[in-house]
Amino acid sequence: MSELSFGFRVAWRHLRIGVMNELQYRANFVVQLIQSVVATGTGLVVLSLIFDRTDQLDGWTRPQLLIVMGVFTFVGGLIGFVIEPNMGRVMTDIHMGTFDYVLTKPVDSQLLASVREFRLWRLTDVVVGGVVLGWGLSGLDERITLFDTAGFVFTLIAGTILIYCLWLALTAGAFWVIRMEMVQELFTGLYRAGQYPVTIYPSWLRLTLTYLVPIGFAITVPSESLTGRLTTERVLITAGFVVFGFALSRWIWRIGTRRYSGASA
Amino acid sequence: MTDTVRSGAVVSQPIEYEGGVRSYARLYATLIRTSIMEGFQYRVSNYLYMIGMVTEPVIYLVVWSTIARGQGGSVEGYTPGTFAAYYIVWTLVRNMNIVFTPFGWEERIREGQISGHLARPLHPIHYDLGNFAGWKFVVIVLWLPIAAVLTLIFKPDLDPSIAQIATFAIAIWGAYLIRSMLLWILGMVTFWTTRVSAMFEAFFAAELLLSGRLLPMTLMPDWVQTLASYLPFQSTFGFPITALVGPITNRELVEGLLRQVLWISIGALGVRLMWQRALRRYTAVNG
């Protein structure tokens, strides 16, 4: 069996265990659903306040901003489902010295560290985000071409991978400085900026939100592809940046794990 | 007890009973001093936290400045310059507003920390108030460079009178007290049920829309403004910010402060009643 397919089987097994675990706590689904609805409802109120005063925000109409909000919620749900819990667990493991259990397994440590925890109910955000996205799409005047759809799917996957890479690199920072909890707060704070297209921000912030914290790639670029703004050039840049980001974060992870020394091992 | 004795200064004199006010003052002074020292120890993580927090007002500021420009320079009298002033002052008010989170009650109860509080002679809210008040001094110092950078970038239009500055200096502490007590009351719901997070999120959403945190209240629809005037939220965000940024009359400054006093009294009463009832629900094992 090749190493890769073995890795995927391990990931799949962990996902199943994680889902079964979460299914024990069904009431949490209702709680999470209320939270998703409250958050999205607030977002919709804000949009209506904006469009009480104007009919476009820097060229983006109401349905187009609904699409941005949908993608924002959707990607946020994915982050909460798999990226945040796993990276949080890695930070705790490093802190407590239990990261040994990851390193001693015969699977790639990055893969294993990324698939151990799932918060199933955070997927409600994926559903709610999908609904908002659909609502926005139904309000568009233009038709969406096949190129737009393909561009959307591709840039959405690429952008989410980039967010994962950022988290991985930040988490690996815990190998050096141990206390990284505030980094999560920082990310959560910055992520909120993705509710609007990053193009509305002043250039220093826009560049930060695109290349340093790739919210631009994860939210704005996919939304651009559904609103007729995507260019082939942008697709190529995204592809290149994913390869670069993935290689860089994996490199940081590797150096970090080599630096790690457990207290108990 | 052993800790007090070991700390040296106390050893030389026997512990005497002190009057109520003096013991409160000493408690607060000690709590504030300790938390200032602690706060400066973790200045890097405090900074990361503050930078994450600054994103929120910057988003609002950018969005509403964009709208103002699109509408020929201003919305309801707010120009990009006055929006900038509003949201930069916002960052200080928000920092003053960070108090013990209602989400923290679950741990307090689960870990039996309440038992420790019950053994102390004063109401436990004083320990939170003192602790966080000390942290505020750290926050204000750390906030200054952030405010300077934001000022350079967004060029706020700010020209307060002496009365406005004085009111602001008092009102941020009023806001701190009111929000501390509100969130204490909210957090104590955890004594009855642990499924509180959805309720807390709903509370924060209401606060966002009804306090001036999202937008200056004058930009809200009329019925929202009327509703908000009966609720405490504005005293914790909108009033302190508007007190400094304006436009506001001296009469409104005084009214705002009086309203804060009213909400502080109601909050204190609420905390008292809620705490009494909550304690009846509380049992600890080995606490």
Query: pLDDT tens string for chain B (287 positions)?
Result: 333 333 334 444 444 555 677 777 888 888 888 888 877 777 777 777 788 788 889 999 999 999 998 888 888 889 999 999 999 999 999 989 888 888 888 888 888 788 877 777 778 888 888 888 888 888 888 889 999 999 999 999 999 999 999 999 999 999 999 999 999 999 988 888 887 888 898 999 999 999 999 999 999 999 999 999 999 999 999 999 999 998 899 999 999 999 999 999 999 999 999 998 888 887 765 54
Cα A69 to chain centroid distance, Å, stands at 14
Instruction: Give the span between the Cα atoms of B269 and B138, in whole angstroms.
Output: 30
Compute the nearest-CA separation of B61 from chain A (Å).
10
pLDDT at A129 over 70: yes
Residue of B nearest to A51 (CA): B67
CB contact under 8 A, B67 and A193: no
Mutate to test the interface with B, among A26, A33, A35, A44 (most CBs of B within 10 A): A35
Tell which of B74, B201, B207 to mutate to test the A interface (max A CBs under 10 Å): B201
B252-268 b/e (C-beta count within 10 Å ≥ 16 → b): ebeebbebbeebbeebe
When scoring A32, A47, A54, A212 by the number of chain B Cβ atoms within 10 A, the one with the most, hence best to mutate, is A54
Q: Name which of B192, B23, B43 is nearest B105 in CA terms.
A: B192
Q: Collect all residues of chain A within an 8 Å Cβ-Cβ radius of residue B77.
A: none
Taking contacts as CB-CB distances below 8 angstroms, the residues of chain B near A219 are none
Distance CA B176, CA B198 (A): 24
Q: Name the residue among A35, A181, A195 with its Cβ closest to that of B201.
A: A35
Kindly determine whether residue A192 and residue B198, on different chains, have CB atoms separated by under 8 Å.
no
Which candidate, A172, A167, A170, A152, places its Cα nearest to that of A218? A152
The C-alpha angle B207, B213, B216, rounded to 5 degrees, equals 120
Non-local (6+) Cβ contacts of A54 within 8 A are B67, B70, B71
The whole-model pTM stands at 0.86
Which residues of chain B lie closer than 8 angstroms to A182, CB-CB?
45-46, 48-49, 52
CB within 8 Å: B59 and A193? yes
What is the rounded distance in angstroms from the CA atom of residue A51 to the CA atom of residue B91? 25
Q: Do A182 and B220 touch (CB under 8 A)?
A: no
Identify the closest residue of chain B to A203 by CA–CA distance.
B153
Measured between CB atoms, which of A34, A195, A204 is closest to B198? A34
Identify the bridge partners of residue A60 per DSSP, sorted by sequence position: A57
